[in-house]
């Protein structure tokens, strides 16, 4: 399939997987129901001072109870693909052992509801809500957590392997490393660089072990990692900035990409960490072979570029969104997609997240006018279209997010949804961007 001409209307390849994404802790609520155990995000969000306004995911968008209505919204939008995550503590309250049937039943109902509406399910096994019991045993600093993850993954392959065509292992390992262990803005709220990269290795290992578990079960489905990639550019044209940008790219992108797709951690990052770092000491013979177990596709999440100074810091070059870390730069989408294809070969790519927070409000006439989100998405869709034209095997695109939801440390103030959620009533209202997106999907382009 080929994309349409750059000057005419932008037609995407036929069958292109227009979609939207969510994650369990951000939308489900029902934190204590049907045998769900506690996750590190329950602990973190209930710790005073950790989230804006003390917000928690206890109720969130109440999707656990309203999933049928949400499935109908997806059908109304015309979605072809829906990316969601499974809450590990719903499946194994303490992170190991016999699965909780009521937890499995919920995801079975969700997946069947997607199929009934002609929407392809895309399942993420881990989107940050680690069972608290595993954290108490050391969390991702403990190599055993990777083994527990593979067991949990196998439970899910057994339960849903026949009806979920695409599986993603770990959402944004880098965010766990950086926000969870370097900066402490996310659960478990640590600030320990030496621990952070040990965690990176164990997350990569967990990914590889899960890929092996899927193959061992003989499940006829595709699997891959979900990486948030940041195109890195020098902040100025000094040699120092060029050098610093290269290393920054190692930490942001190649640490994750190279280990999975080339079977080696990048030498510059390993040298920078040093032989005495906990990570370098933790890598055992055979680990990289596990991590590099062949995957079927690569899920890319793109939000922002980074501009790196000679001192290794970053500066802001473009207008930012309501999220001050996000610079609006659609060209970065093109750059990161074409770069991945150039450096790692023609592995199929899905965009599993891209989106914008807006100060959305429900107007008196019952509409939500998020014109800025439409502009943002149009420009990013166009950039993705150019990447396809230039040879990137991009097969689908999931907007973050289907619904307004619990935006982690930012609580409920930032609204990322195509669909507005009026939290006091849990009423859903399609924003203007949702109506617009429906026409994009119907026309398969812009």
Binding site feature residues: 26, 127, 171, 303, 400, 407-408
Nearer to ligand GBH, 123 or 290 (CB): 123
Nearer to ligand GBH, 92 or 179 (CB): 179
- Is residue 376 at the binding interface for ligand GBH, with CB under 6 A as the rule? no
Peptide bond into 240 cis (omega under 30): no
Rounded to the nearest 5 degrees, what angle is found at the Cα of 15, between the Cα atoms of 12 and 17? Answer: 80
Query: Shortest approach of ligand GBH to residue 237 CB, angstroms?
Result: 27
Nearer to ligand GBH, 232 or 388 (CB): 232
Helices (H) and strands (E) in the chain, counts: 17, 13
Residue in 106, 107, 140, 303 binding ligand GBH, rule: CB under 6 A: 303
DSSP 182-220: IS-SSTT----HHHHHHHHHHHHHHHHHHHHHHHHHT--
Strands of the 314-315 sheet, one edge to the other: 232-234, 306-308, 314-315
d(CA 175, CA 173): 5
Residue in 47, 274, 325, 346 binding ligand GBH, rule: CB under 6 A: 325
- Is residue 353 at the binding interface for ligand GBH, with CB under 6 A as the rule? yes
39 in Cβ contact with 134 (< 8 Å): no
Measured in degrees and rounded to the nearest 5, phi and psi for residue 86 equal -100, 135
d(CA 357, CA 355): 7
d(CA 442, CA 117): 15
- Is residue 129 at the binding interface for ligand GBH, with CB under 6 A as the rule? no
The 378-417 contact track toward ligand GBH, x by CB under 6 A, reads ----------------------x------x--------x-
The 187-226 contact track toward ligand GBH, x by CB under 6 A, reads ----------------------------------------
Peptide bond into 188 cis (omega under 30): yes
d(CA 167, CA 220): 11
DSSP 176-187: IIIIIIIS-SST
Rounded to the nearest 5 degrees, what angle is found at the Cα of 296, between the Cα atoms of 290 and 300? Answer: 95
- Is residue 45 at the binding interface for ligand GBH, with CB under 6 A as the rule? no
- Is residue 172 at the binding interface for ligand GBH, with CB under 6 A as the rule? yes
**CB nearest ligand GBH: which residue?**
185
- Is residue 23 at the binding interface for ligand GBH, with CB under 6 A as the rule? yes
- Is residue 87 at the binding interface for ligand GBH, with CB under 6 A as the rule? no
- Is residue 329 at the binding interface for ligand GBH, with CB under 6 A as the rule? no
- Residues that contact ligand GBH, how many (by CB under 6 A): 15
- Is residue 228 at the binding interface for ligand GBH, with CB under 6 A as the rule? yes
Active site residues: 172, 353
102 in Cβ contact with 144 (< 8 Å): no
- Is residue 327 at the binding interface for ligand GBH, with CB under 6 A as the rule? no
216 in Cβ contact with 288 (< 8 Å): no
Nearer to ligand GBH, 12 or 437 (CB): 437
Q: Which residues pair with 19 in a beta bridge?
A: 81, 398
Nearer to ligand GBH, 183 or 236 (CB): 183
Sequence-ordered alpha helix ranges (H) in 283-397: 287-291, 331-344, 371-389
Query: Shortest approach of ligand GBH to residue 327 CB, angstroms?
Result: 12
Binding residues for substrate: 26, 127, 171, 303, 400, 407-408
Burial (Cβ within 10 Å: 0-12, 13-18, ≥19) of residue 325: exposed
Nearer to ligand GBH, 318 or 367 (CB): 318
- Is residue 179 at the binding interface for ligand GBH, with CB under 6 A as the rule? yes
Query: Shortest approach of ligand GBH to residue 349 CB, angstroms?
Result: 17
Place of tokens 């490393």: 177
Residue in 145, 171, 293, 433 binding ligand GBH, rule: CB under 6 A: 171
Query: Shortest approach of ligand GBH to residue 114 CB, angstroms?
Result: 20
User: CB neighbours (10 Å) of residue 344?
Assistant: 15
Site residues for ligand GBH per CB under 6 A: 23, 26, 171-172, 175, 179, 183, 185, 228, 303, 325, 353, 400, 407, 416
């Amino acid at each position: 399939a080929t994309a349409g001409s750059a000057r005419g209307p932008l037609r995407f390849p036929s069958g292109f997987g227009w979609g939207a994404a969510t994650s369990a802790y951000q939308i489900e609520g029902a934190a204590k129901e049907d045998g769900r155990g506690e996750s590190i995000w329950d602990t973190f969000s209930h710790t005073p001072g950790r989230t804006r306004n003390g917000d928690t995911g206890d109720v969130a968008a109440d999707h656990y109870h309203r999933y049928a209505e949400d499935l109908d919204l997806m059908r109304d939008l015309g979605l072809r693909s829906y990316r969601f995550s499974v809450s590990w503590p719903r499946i194994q309250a303490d992170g190991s052992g016999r699965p909780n049937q009521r937890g499995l039943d919920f995801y079975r109902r969700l997946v069947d509801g997607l199929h009934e509406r002609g929407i392809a399910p895309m399942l993420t096994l881990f989107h940050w809500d680690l069972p608290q019991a595993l954290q108490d045993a050391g969390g991702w600093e403990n190599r055993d957590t990777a083994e527990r993850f593979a067991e949990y993954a196998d439970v899910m392959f057994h339960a849903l392997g026949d009806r979920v065509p695409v599986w993603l292992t770990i959402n944004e390992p880098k965010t766990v490393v950086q926000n969870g262990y370097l900066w402490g803005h996310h659960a478990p709220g640590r600030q320990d660089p030496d621990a952070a990269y040990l965690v990176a290795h164990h997350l990569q290992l967990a990914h590889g072990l899960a890929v092996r578990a899927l193959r061992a079960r003989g499940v006829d489905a595709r699997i891959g990692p979900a990486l948030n990639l940041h195109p890195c550019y020098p902040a100025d044209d000094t040699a120092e900035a060029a050098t610093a940008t290269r290393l920054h790219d190692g930490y942001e992108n190649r640490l994750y990409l190279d280990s999975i797709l080339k079977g080696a951690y990048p030498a510059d990052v390993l040298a920078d960490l040093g032989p005495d770092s906990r990570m370098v000491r933790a890598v055992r013979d055979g680990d990289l072979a596990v991590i590099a177990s062949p995957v079927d596709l690569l899920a890319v999440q793109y939000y922002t570029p980074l501009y790196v100074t000679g001192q290794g810091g970053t500066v802001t070059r473009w207008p930012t969104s309501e999220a001050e870390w996000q610079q609006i730069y659609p060209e970065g989408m093109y750059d990161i997609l074409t770069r991945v294809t150039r450096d790692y070969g023609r592995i199929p790519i899905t965009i599993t997240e891209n989106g914008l927070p807006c100060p959305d409000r429900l107007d008196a006439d019952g509409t939500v006018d998020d014109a800025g989100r439409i502009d943002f998405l149009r420009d990013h869709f166009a950039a993705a279209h150019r990447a396809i034209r230039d040879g990137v095997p991009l097969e689908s695109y999931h907007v973050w997010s289907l619904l307004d939801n619990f935006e982690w440390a930012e609580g409920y103030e930032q609204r990322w949804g195509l669909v507005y959620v009026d939290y006091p009533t849990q009423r859903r209202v399609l924003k203007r961007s949702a109506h617009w997106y429906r026409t994009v999907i119907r026309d398969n382009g812009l």
